[in-house]
């Protein structure tokens, strides 16, 4: 299984690294342990993590003014 680095995930999703870190923390229960490792250990995201984060990115991309129409 291919794993992606924080920078690769940020580039794939079109967001910055801090955004991915925030999502990884917020949605940790849906991600692999490697997405939220111990301090000093590089984050690694597997294919399932990428699917989860892609959904998060898609939902976050919704314009609030479109809701309720």
Which pLDDT tens digit goes with each residue over 7-49? 999 999 999 999 999 999 999 999 999 999 999 999 999 999 9
Tokens standing for 37?
A: 């490792």
Q: Does an H or E element contain 60, and which?
A: helix 47-60
Distance (Å) of CA 41 to CA 21, 25, 33, 37, 60: 13, 15, 11, 6, 27
pLDDT of residue 60: 81
pLDDT of residue 46: 97
- State the pTM of this model: 0.84
């Amino acid at each position: 299984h291919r794993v992606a680095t924080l920078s690769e995930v940020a580039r794939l999703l079109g967001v910055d690294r801090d955004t991915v870190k925030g999502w990884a923390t917020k949605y940790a229960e849906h991600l692999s342990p490697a997405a939220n490792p111990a301090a000093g250990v590089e984050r690694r995201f597997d294919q399932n993590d990428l699917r989860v984060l892609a959904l998060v990115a898609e939902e976050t991309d919704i314009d609030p003014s479109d809701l309720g129409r």
